[in-house]
Amino acid sequence: MSATLSDQIGEFYDTSSGLWEQMWGEHMHHGYYGADGTRRPGRKQAQIDLIEELLKWTADSLGVDLSGGSNTRQFLDAGCGIGGSTLYLAQKFKIKGIGITLSPVQAARAIDRSREARIDGEVGFLVANAQKVPFADASFDWVWSLESGEHMPDKEGFLRECHRVLKPGGTLMFATWCHRPTEEPLGRLTESEQKLLREIYRIYHLPYVISLPEYEAIATQLEFQNIHTADWSSAVAPFWDEVLESAFNPAAILGLLMAGWGTIQGAMAIGLMRDGFARGTIRYGVLCATKSGH
């Protein structure tokens, strides 16, 4: 990841994370609204439901018990935000977790939140690049990556790092923004679709996104085993309607003005994301797999 891009991503989350936490809480990712997108559990519960659905889908797909007992000791949260998933998983499974983020503000807030939850001895947070994870080979039983892959300029390099730090037999749980598949019969992205994506890349500091079949091909090339994928676009698309609704809250408007132009632009991109999901250009992909036990 270039210094410029990583700095831009870190700065974006430095300035926007406080407002997000104020309006939405500790989870900085989509919500889950039922397989067909018709359920309305409330925005914070929907985000927890997404975590639970990813855990359940992974366990069912791989035929594993993620609780693992004494065999599961530590996981990595690659792109941890302010520690929402890290703390949730550590508390749910009673295991140790480490979260990494490019944002010093996010890392500091995650540390504070772990102290508030009185589990700071079980979790740790640091500023680090997920494309060059500062841990030894075979350090983790799981790698959890919830909506960070879209920020990676080297998608293969990122998944290679996930593979490297997993223990033999370890589990990858991965959810990310994608664009639609480009194989037949859909074909290549149109100029209109590419223009929409370029605007989203610019505002959210994304290098580019790829399709879910491309992620599956990378995972196969890296010799992940038991690879499973699913498109959850319908299940998460209502999230952007709820984000738009929350943006009209007076506190949100004031917070946007105080957070600065980058955060204001991020809010202005809500319509682009809604349009992207409605057109089918933007997709939400999930992937789970294991590292060979040999």
Nearest to 231 by CA among 195, 156, 178: 178
Model confidence at 198: pLDDT above 50: yes
CATH of the domain at 57: 3.40.50.150
Q: What is the pLDDT of residue 240?
A: 86
Q: Please determine, for residue 6, whether its predicted confidence score (pLDDT) is greater than 90.
A: no
Q: Kindly state the tokens that stand for 44.
A: 């914070």
Per-residue pLDDT, 10? 76
Q: Is 74 helix (H, G, I), strand (E, B) or coil?
A: strand
Structural tokens at position 203: 């505002």
Measured between alpha carbons, how far is residue 118 from residues 88, 112, 122, 260, 293 in Å? 13, 10, 9, 33, 35
Intra-chain end-to-end CA distance of the chain, in Å: 31
Q: What is the DSSP string of 266-280?
A: HHHTHHHHHHHHHHT
Q: Name the average pLDDT for the chain.
A: 88
- 258-284 confidence digits (pLDDT tens): 444 444 454 567 888 899 999 999 999
Is residue 54 within 8 Å of 254, Cβ to Cβ?
no
For range 154-177, the mean pLDDT: 97
Beta strands in the chain (DSSP E): 74-78, 96-101, 123-127, 140-146, 166-179, 224-231, 282-291
Cα–Cα dist 20/252, whole Å:
9
238 cis-preceded (ω within 30 degrees of 0) = no
Side-chain half-sphere CA neighbours of 152 within 13 A: 28
Q: Encoding tokens for residue 78?
A: 């690659």
| Per-residue pLDDT band at 153 (split at 50, 70, 90) | very high
**Mean local confidence (pLDDT), 20-35:** 84
User: Domain span at residue 255?
Assistant: 3-63+70-129+138-291
Q: How many domains does the chain have?
A: 1
Count the helix, strand and coil residues of the chain and give each as a percent rounded to the nearest 5: 50, 20, 30
* Span 125-139, pLDDT tens digits: 999 999 999 999 999
pLDDT, position 233 = 98
pLDDT at 247 over 60: no
- The tens digit of pLDDT for each residue in 53-62 reads 999 999 999 9
At 23, is the pLDDT very low, low, confident or very high (cuts 50, 70, 90)? Answer: low
Cα–Cα dist 120/2, whole Å:
32
How confident is the model at residue 259, as a pLDDT?
A: 46
Whether 193 shows a pLDDT value over 50: the answer reads yes
**Poorest-confidence range of 11-25, 155-169, 259-273?**
259-273
Highest mean pLDDT: which range of 8-22, 189-203, 240-254: 189-203
